[in-house]
Chain A
Amino acid sequence: MNRKSFTKRLITAPYTVWMAIFVLVPIALVVYYALTDADGHFTAGNVTAIVDYAKTFGISVELALISTAICLLMAYPLAYAIARMNTRRQSTMIMLVMLPMWMNFLIRTYAWIAILADKGLINAFLQSIGLDGFKMIGTRGAVVLGMVYNFLPYMILPIYTVLTKIEQSTIEAAQDLGASRAQVFRRVLLPMSVPGIISGITMVFVPAVSTFVISKLLGAGKTYLIGDIIENYFLGNTGTVNYNIGASLSLVLMLMILISMAIMNHFDKDESAGGMI
């Protein structure tokens, strides 16, 4: 028995060590930097300096929420349709959902510039059929589009996963009992897919609220998000490197996400870690 529990500990050991050094220690360092000044003395100054960026936090959260909502609306019907296909088609479809991610997101975002530009493909098309083009690139709408595009697969996959777990017979049973389409959706499908929806929301909201590349490329450099500011503080793109303020901004971002997740998990009655692939 001893030997076996030793084996068990042994197989977890690399993981334990790895996660301790490369996940926990770095977080501790971020907290350390956030609460100290350049000379290493304790200060709360970095955290209070964040007030300057309240508006930026606001814009980031707003755009991320809009993108998350759009992703959810777009992803659910597709995830449902895929979940009802036969197994072979399912795996092909899921492959198709993930395939674009093999092209790095930076490259795909550059291609969006070509599509959305003032004389880009969409406007050229509109003009060729006699309509007026309109401004897309550089607007907040373009930033939202970039977020939706890049993070949509993260919404589709977890919803699809929970939906496959719902037996077709459950739906049929509800229908046999006289439930309408809408009722089946509201009373059966939706409650059962909550865990997937919640992981989907997290997996879209988190990268969206913290992105800095999408805002830079599609937002005309006029929409500054919190990610842009953190990047600037760590890589000094505006001229000053300041790990301390950067770390405190990251810490606040992290806490904000943790709190909103805790609130969301409150709604998720299913205790299982389900939802993730």
Chain B
Amino acid sequence: MNTNLLVVITASAVFYGTPLFFAALGGVFTERSGVLNLGVEGTMLIGAVTGAWASQHVGGSAWFTVLISILMGMAAGALTSLLHAFLCITLRTNQTVAGLAITIAAGGVGLSSYFANIWEVAANPVDRPIRKLDVLGLGDMPVLGPIVFNQTILTYVSWVMVAVASWYLFRTKIGLQLRAVGESPQTADAMGINVVKYRYLHTVLGGSLAGLGGVFYSLAIVPLWVDGMTKGAGWIAIALVIFGFWRPGLTLVGAYLFGALQSLGTALKARNVNISGDVLDALPFFMTIVVLVLISSRFAHRRLGAPASLGVPYEREER
């Protein structure tokens, strides 16, 4: 393998890893508050279809359209996860099944496809995609150029986000209280923290980030609407939360690893490497299982970072 190929793969790992990171970071926030959201895949698709619609219908300068598309995709994701929050936090339903319900209702053959149909999103191309930038004219620089200076604006946003999220979770009072809610809502409640509010806010925040990941698919990666276009990215993101031990920094590393796996196929095919495309397609899914097995077996008892009350509804009247 020559260095050039390595650079190509690393650059596209960052590109393909970006939406995985957004969705997984959303999962980190949601799960840190003690809510398990398995609806990420569906939420991403709703964000993706909304973003694609906005990009076709919002006028103005190109930058304005892109900005509005991103914001609308995030808002749609937030609304989708608000439903999840209502079911899980207010109605105290089974979080696993509620999340599955979101993915089935919104997923590839559900609401996202319905919206795409009635809004005629699939019929039209996305004219104003999110393009890769040439930062400071350094995009042609050897090695670092394609990896660091030739990415979309959202990738740079994600790098800022990693720092902000780590600071928020581990260095602020709100972050501390959030983690308390995820570990032991009873104790947090006794300390005067509004458990319900924390859980609602962070579930919705997580949903908006999943929506952002979806927008990245419909406006940057493909860029076009295809039913079920995220192809399991939402589920990989859920695995990435575990892989990253509920920490933003490690989640970014994991996202790039899986981004590399996803881009491997295109990179190798362009170089006539003789590997079946199907094997490469299956690789991310297979590796997700392998990674889960490795993590679960060795650290199962130590529970590295899993919020203790993850997936458990909080009922104030019960002690």
A binds B: no
Using a CB–CB cutoff of 8 Å, the interface residues on chain A facing chain B are: none
Q: Name B residues whose Cβ lies closer than 8 Å to a Cβ of A.
A: none
